[in-house]
Amino acid sequence: MKAKKIDHIAIVVKRIEDYLPVYTEILGMRVLRTEDMPIYKSKICFLQCGDVLLELLEPYGPCINMTMLEEKGGGFSHICYEVEDIEACYNEMKERNISMFEAIPDIVEGVGNSRVFFTQPDPLGNIMAEFVEHPK
């Protein structure tokens, strides 16, 4: 299993609309899509930044993103790696005793019909990681 590339970097914010002018007007990023993701209890906005996406997460219900917003005022959430085969990646992580994020411990549907899973931060330098396989 190898990571193909960094897919996106996620940031928790209170209101997406408050931050869009900085990212779009000053930094010149383009909004690709905004979606409501009930599984994450968050509104999600993806912006294009070269070959990497920036994901703004606006939580609206009890979840790790809301906890981060309440305790730290938001900020860096996770980094996402694109992989070719999500099942193989997931199984290798489990075989190596890398713990999955307890709130979403399995492979689930992500944005744009992708498939994703999350690991605990400890094995990756205290940074939460998401792994994604995009539809072919």
Q: How far apart are CA 98 and CA 68, in angstroms?
A: 23
Residue 47 token pair: 């912006």
- Averaged in consecutive runs of 10 residues, what is the pLDDT profile of the chain (136 residues)? 93 97 97 92 96 97 92 95 96 91 84 92 88 94
The predicted pLDDT at position 103 comes to 74
Query: Phi and psi (nearest 5°) for 110?
Result: -110, -165
H or E segment to which residue 90 belongs = helix 86-95
The predicted pLDDT at position 121 comes to 86
Q: Which domain holds residue 75?
A: 3-133
Q: How far apart are CA 45 and CA 130, in angstroms?
A: 16
Contact between residue 113 and residue 128 where contact means Cβ atoms under 8 Å apart: no
Angle at 84 between CA 79 and CA 89, to 5 degrees: 70
The predicted pLDDT at position 105 comes to 77
H or E segment to which residue 8 belongs = strand 3-12
The predicted pLDDT at position 48 comes to 97
Q: What is the pTM of this model?
A: 0.91
Residue 130 per-residue DSSP state = E
In sign, the C-alpha dihedral spanning 87, 132, 129, 119 is negative
What domain count does the chain have?
1
Contact between residue 87 and residue 106 where contact means Cβ atoms under 8 Å apart: no
CATH of the domain at 126: 3.10.180.10
